[in-house]
Amino acid sequence: MITATALHGCSLIDGEWVAGKNGEITGFDPRTNASLNPSYSLANSAQLRAATTSAKRAFESYRLTTPEVRADFLDSIADNIDALSGEIVQRASLETGLGTTRLTGEVARTSNQLRLFAETVRSGQFHRVRIERGPRIDLRQRQVPLGPVAVFGASNFPVAFSTAGGDTASALAAGCPVVFKAHNAHPGTAELVGQAVRGAVEKHEFDAGVFNLVYGRGVEIGQELAADPNITAIGFTGSRQGGLALSQTAFSRPVPVPVFAEMSATNPVFVFPGALADLDASSSLAEAFTASVTGSSGQLCTKPGLVFIPRGVVGDAFVALVAAKFKETTGQTMLTQGIAQAWQRGVDNLAAQPSVKILAQGTPGDGENAPGPVVFESDVQALLNNVVLQEEIFGAASLVVRYDSPDQLHQVANSLEGQLTATIHASQDDFQEVSKLIPLLEDLAGRVLYGGWPTGVEVGHTVIHGGPYPATSNAQSTSVGTLAIERFMRPVSYQTFPAELLPDPVSEANKWAVPREIDR
């Protein structure tokens, strides 16, 4: 089992900790804006190319690993993360201000999803084997890994969407080496988890290029990775600006590669009158809405940024409850000073729009970068006429939008940009109108909820964390759940092959016991 070591403050390239030659950065404690030791040296272009070249070399052997060996590797990473859990939580708390309770859960989620992918690899289902023994032609199909994947760490999940998070786990499960670009807001956390992955690579005696961890200047190194011919796919969670920049570069290459970028969403919630008819239910709904907006300082990609409430007595009562609950809130530390400043700009911009008013605002928290949560109110027509009202504010802010009839909700669903989630709150009395809205929400979002709140993403086999553009750059997959493995694979068909040359998943012997569709 791995044990913690001192932080190296540099990139992991081809199995070695290598001092960068392109300046340095430090992490910061967002509660005080104080810098944290050690400083991290940044890789230059030659060092980045060394990382991607080693990943390309490692692909030749790693792609051929058996399901059991690859699954054991994923389990070993999970074991190492669990062994370092205390150090990871402590460092991540310093670098993000998220708190030990939230981060302890996030570390557990990270190791659990690695083990879930290990189970997926052992099952063999992801090979998608199909066999047709036709009278004239024998055809056999399976999925093969794409090659080295560049993964970018997210600001808001320093572990679960970071070094060994969902993108890395699914790429490694598919048989793809990973070049991971650490997020500069939590460099120490990235390194600690990187040590866990490196320990597993060494334990299984894999080519060291299976996993590289690099530090660099965000835009500069991102563009270089997206353009690097050794990289065959990209996983990204972050801003729309960053995701689009990577996509443009990756698509403009002589050989374009897919970019799976999760970018922005306001995650609309559609509340029908029946859900507010009972005062106790309305109060519970207002409390849950407030908690969903303010949890983790609103820095969750599924935070409900828009909630549609009917006009009338029950709607007015709900809005009054929401205002009262927001006034009782206290700000939580945001991830960085820059993110807190961006939140303030978004709030100021929304407050300045015609037909928008501030319903209520909570109290700022102690220390730096902890603004009081805020909730606004407007109406459907203003939302339809002004795109500013539809823009994401990353942080604890949301807009209550009043509507007159369910038909207006259809207009909204047809006008909003693609979303990660769309949520319905209703009673059985509303079902006729709800049923008309559901097809529109299927076109709008990757995950449609009834009776819940979008924050909190279950990691499993059936979840979708993705959605139509601009929620993601590719709506045909997910960044959470076992279906994510298919992002980094493609189908290959083998026609009239001699039995001796067939790969194991499509061979007659099927010694890996892969599930298969035969002669259908």
- Active site positions, annotated: 262, 301
Given the structure tokens 């109110």, which residue do they identify?
377
Identity of the amino acid at 62: Y
What is the C-alpha to C-alpha distance for residues 369 and 510, in angstroms, rounded to an integer?
57
Dihedrals φ, ψ of 447, to 5°? Answer: -135, 125
In whole angstroms, what is the distance from residue 512 CA to residue 442 CA? 37
- State how far the Cα of 8 lies from the Cα of 298, in Å rounded to an integer: 32
Structure token pair of residue 250: 């990756």
- Residues sharing a CB contact under 8 Å with residue 206, sequence separation 6 or more, in sequence order: 58, 61, 62, 65, 73
DSSP 159: T
Angle at 157 between CA 90 and CA 478, to 5 degrees: 150
From 320, 347, 343, 348, select the one nearest 332 (Cα to Cα). Answer: 343
Amino acid (1-letter code) at residue 187: P
| Cα distance between the two ends of the chain | 47
Q: Provide the Cα torsion 200, 206, 210, 212; round to 10°.
A: 60
Tell me if residue 24 falls in helix, strand or coil. strand
Q: How many CB atoms neighbour CB 345 within 10 A?
A: 10
- 392 within 8 A of 264, measured Cβ to Cβ: yes
Position 308: which residue type? F
**Token duo for residue 359:** 């319903």
Structure letter (DSSP) for residue 428 = G
Spell out the residues 6+ positions from residue 205 whose beta carbon is closer than 8 angstroms to its own: none
Q: Which amino acid is at 96?
A: T
Three-state SS sequence of 195-211: HHHHHHHHHCCCCHHHE
8 Å CB contact between 417 and 268: no
